[in-house]
Structure 1
Amino acid sequence: MRVTSSSLHAAGGTESTRRSRGRPAVPLDRILATALQLVDEEGAEALSMRTLAQRLESGTATLYRHFTNRAVLVGHVVDRVLGEVELDDEALAKMSWDQACQALAQAMFDTLGRHRKVAPLLVEQTPIGPNAMMLRERSLAVLLGGGLSPSLAARAYATLARHVLGFAIQLAGSENAAEQQQVSAYFHKLPPADFPATLAVADSLPVPLEDEFAFGLELIINGLRQLHAR
């Protein structure tokens, strides 16, 4: 992921204050809600200033009142989604650092699971909106509070964030129940002489994506416990 110069600041200056004649202003909240709906329905690649303006039945100049370019728009959409991450402060305070870390990662994955086509937007730039910064701060505070060194806490957070993002990107193309049943049936019909190992675990294949995520998250947390113990 990269930080673009346009994503480091909100729309401002003369470019963001352009006015389109004859068209009323569109509230920022409505723009972002419509942009998120567009991504949810058509995918991250469908989000453009022109397409969004068409959905709003407005012109692109209306959008440039709020965003200097698409990168700034993407940053706002991503931060809106991250603002939906549900955190129970009281419950987190009662957890050990590793339990809290696991709960934070799961909460972020669950949120992206409700917007299965949004994750590719997070690859375009490093999220630095207020909600993203809050989540990063909370996660790092948990790791540092558990006694991890700053260097280990930074690497641990980066690993967990990429684990969440990597699996979230796959959610858009994850198989439904019918497809999984077809794949399972295929594995069970394989020739025993050629695929004995696959047949031995066929009852457990394919592994649902959500289960793969939880298993991988547990492995990461266990690894961090061992590093911390050293």
Structure 2
Amino acid sequence: MERIVATALQIVDEEGADALSMRTLAQRLGSGTATLYRHFDNRAALVAHVVDRMFGAVQLDGDELLALGWEQALRTVAHTMFEALAGHRNAARLMVERVPLGPNAMALREHCVAVLLGSGFPQRVAAHAYATLARYVLGFAVQVDGPGQDGTGRLGDADLSAAFHAVDPDLFPATLAVAGSMPVPIEDEFSFGLDLLLSGLARLRDDV
């Protein structure tokens, strides 16, 4: 099973999510599709295992997270999850198809929700907070090293910077005013947005 899922993840990393099929996987493994169907009912079941394998790279201890306090715990989870998913950008896109429910994903969700509940967040807010955090991380992770990028997660910084400085000042005066700060590296965007998300959660908690 381990070899099958690892090979499936490799296919997605190298060729994209659409390239993953039972036939392609069987060919890569040098076996027949019948062998795969003994382990997985269909492609969806295989995808679920591939997604959960990525979450297995998010190694966080629940007790250690509780000791950090909710805000630092979520910050740690977000950055660790981002690194894990960004390392498999193509495979991370598979998460768009379904909510991750494998054992590794469930363990991470359990740790985060437990931290939030233990810090006084109402159940509904705790559930929404984790769901929002997970989708936020995913949205950034799938953009890292995408088509046309320079390998650092940035969309051709030199060309974009020149383009921002060359805008028509009569049409885009505000853009020209901040051109020196653009484009924003995706890692900085991620950290800035995460700060905003956590600040919003802190206000919700204070209002309870």
TM-score (structure 2 length as normaliser) = 0.91
Q: Matched residues in 1 for 2:195 and 2:129: separation?
A: 13
1:98 and 2:99 correspond: no
Q: Secondary structure at the match of 2:143?
A: helix
Aligned to 1:35: 8
Aligned to 1:191: 168
Summarize deviations over 1:188-214 as a string: whole Å, max 9, x none. 122323322111111211112222122
Bigger Cα Rg: 1
Please tell me whether the aligned partners of residues 117 and 172 of structure 1 are also in contact (alpha carbons under 8 angstroms).
no
Q: Matched residues in 2 for 1:205 and 1:118: separation?
A: 29
Paired AA for residue 59 in structure 1? G
Q: Could you say if the C-alpha distance between residues 178 and 206 of structure 1 is closer, same or farther in structure 2, counting changes exceeding 3 Å?
A: closer
1:91 is displaced (CA, Å) by 4.8
Aligned to 1:200: 177
Please tell me whether the aligned partners of residues 66 and 115 of structure 2 are also in contact (alpha carbons under 8 angstroms).
no
Aligned to 1:107: 80
Paired AA for residue 76 in structure 2? A
Please tell me whether the aligned partners of residues 35 and 77 of structure 1 are also in contact (alpha carbons under 8 angstroms).
yes
Q: Secondary structure at the match of 1:117?
A: helix
Q: Matched residues in 1 for 2:191 and 2:91: separation?
A: 20
Paired AA for residue 101 in structure 1? L
Structure 1: gaps (5+ residues): 1-27
Q: Secondary structure at the match of 1:126?
A: coil
Identity %: 60
Q: Matched residues in 2 for 1:55 and 1:156: separation?
A: 40
Aligned to 2:45: 72
Aligned to 2:120: 147
Please tell me whether the aligned partners of residues 4 and 29 of structure 2 are also in contact (alpha carbons under 8 angstroms).
yes
1:90 is displaced (CA, Å) by 6.5
Paired AA for residue 113 in structure 1? A
Aligned to 2:156: 179
Summarize deviations over 1:108-161 as a string: whole Å, max 9, x none. 111001111111111111211110110110010111111101111111111111
4+ long deviations beyond 4 Å: 88-91
Structure 2: gaps (5+ residues): none
Taking CA–CA contacts closer than 8 Å with sequence separation of 6 or more, which of the two structures ends up with the larger relative contact order? 1
Aligned to 2:17: 44
